[in-house]
Chain A
Amino acid sequence: MMHVAKLIDTTLCIGCKACEVACQQWNDQEYTLGTFDGSYQTMPDLAPNFWNLIKFNEYERDGKLSWLMAKYQCMHCVAPGCLKACPAPGAIVTLANGTVDFAQENCIGCGYCITGCPFDVPRLSNTTKKVYKCSLCSDRTAVGLEPACIKTCPTNCLTFGERDALLHGAEARAQELRADGHAEAGVYNPAGVGGTHVFYVLANAARPEDYGLPKDPSVPWTVRLWKGPVKWLGTMVLVGGILGTFFHYVRYGPKEAHDVEGD
């Protein structure tokens, strides 16, 4: 099956937040009034019932303030850190179309995915004790529909399609921007997580931090060590310990006590 992807062309985002509304509406999520902290941003951070947030990153250049608006959501990594860290089989799945979905019925609420995710996306609900994030509208893509946010985007900042073709389009757009004077324009599709199924066109790809995106994200090394060599070590100790003591017994037998004189 072909892999799908979402392209976010940040240069076309007008901050209308229609995608936030569409996400809440399609996924049937109640909006709980957030904190007002003097920003145009809907709320400070993602929440278990809020999976798609337009970040109004304030950015100052040559004494002028501008917004670098960036959609903040699950990146649907090719090699997801959340999946690597998850202990519950079937709670995090990679679908045939390449997207990453959380199956809450199998989730045990340990929150290891939070540690595994280099983008800080999964959110643990205090009421259900399950984690939630953008599913890329798996219930829509399964029947050939585009995700709700893309359906609603009025500026074509968001596009959905076959991953390779979309990546191609993103590169072409970045080239266009470079020709237009944005020398640092480029595509954000970080290799550290094997690439993503959500990628960005950034006017300044050299500084993704300005958009609230991590520079060179990858699955944390402690998570890789934990799920790699430490796991082998543990298996060795467990299996080696059980077999080792058994065969020690076979070879050397029990330590018999001798009798005491006079007793």
Chain B
Amino acid sequence: MSKGTERRIARFSVTERTIHWMAAICFLYAALTGLALWSHKLYWLAWVLGGGSTVRGLHPWGGTFFALVLGFMFRQWASQMGLDSEDKAWLRHAYRYATNEEEGLPEVARFNGGQKMLFWLQSGSTLVLLASGLVLWWPELMPRTLLLAAVLIHPLAAIASIGGIILHIYMGTAAVPGAFRGMIHGWVSPGWAASHHPKWYRAK
């Protein structure tokens, strides 16, 4: 197989990829409009995205769609995202993964401990963002106590979520060449699979 077309290993199905990219687009919109409303220094984003009133009107919808898509993502992946003892051992030594000294790390299956953590971080923060966001959507109707909590909780959850996504984008593009192709075209090379997800590769 070293000559001609490289063997392709199916990584993500069309459904998985569609859900992932729908979530990505909604997230990007909600995050950018959210950042515009979060700081005066980022208010220029509001002008780029159609003006302050537009951003205020559509940010909640962007967030709602994101939460909806994430619900589908949850249904599709939750059963594969449980952290077993090997994942926990992997996470304890995550700094070795981060510094590319991976000898001795437990072998990774379809998702590594970091990916699983990201999944749970996004699931949790989205739930919090949705709940607090619904409160902020209609301030004139909401009890004051809820509003006072929501203005604090909403940005905190957003910071956690955006922080996780910055890492996720980095890992999925520059840090792990080939990963992006897996999520766009749906397949990876055997070498990629064996290097990054050996247990999953062998099971294939």
CB distance from A184 to the nearest CB of B (A): 28
**A252-B147 Cα distance, complex, nearest whole Å:** 44
Interface Cβ pair total, 8 Å cutoff: 135
Nearest CB in chain A to that of B37: its residue: A87
**B203 near A: Cβ within 8 Å?**
no
**With known contacts A87-B38, A241-B167, A252-B100, A111–B149 Cβ distance under 8 A:** no
**A88 near B: Cβ within 8 Å?**
yes
**A258-B194 Cα distance, complex, nearest whole Å:** 8
A109/B37 in contact, CB under 8 A? no
B-side binding surface: helix, strand, loop or mixed?
helix
B151/A223 in contact, CB under 8 A? yes
Complex interface: chain B residues within 8 A of A108 (CB): 37, 46, 52-53, 55-56
State which residues 84-118 of A face B: CB under 8 Å: 85, 87-89, 106, 108-112, 114-115
**A52-B152 Cα distance, complex, nearest whole Å:** 31
**A12 near B: Cβ within 8 Å?**
no
Complex interface: chain A residues within 8 A of B140 (CB): 111, 114, 123-124, 126
Please give the number of chain B residues whose Cβ is less than 8 angstroms from any Cβ of chain A in the complex.
Answer: 50
State which residues 211-263 of A face B: CB under 8 Å: 220, 222-223, 225-226, 230-231, 233-235, 237-238, 241-242, 245, 248-249, 252-260, 262-263
Nearest CB in chain A to that of B97: its residue: A255
**With known contacts A108-B53, A110-B37, A249–B170 Cβ distance under 8 A:** yes
A106/B52 in contact, CB under 8 A? yes
Complex interface: chain A residues within 8 A of B148 (CB): 115, 220, 222-223
Binary per-residue interface labels of chain B (134-177) against chain A in the complex, 1 for a CB within 8 Å, 0 otherwise:
00100110001001110110011011001100110010001111
Complex interface: chain B residues within 8 A of A258 (CB): 191, 194-195
CB distance from A18 to the nearest CB of B (A): 29
Interface residues, chain A, with chain B CB atoms under 8 Å away:
85, 87-89, 106, 108-112, 114-115, 120, 123-124, 126, 129, 220, 222-223, 225-226, 230-231, 233-235, 237-238, 241-242, 245, 248-249, 252-260, 262-263
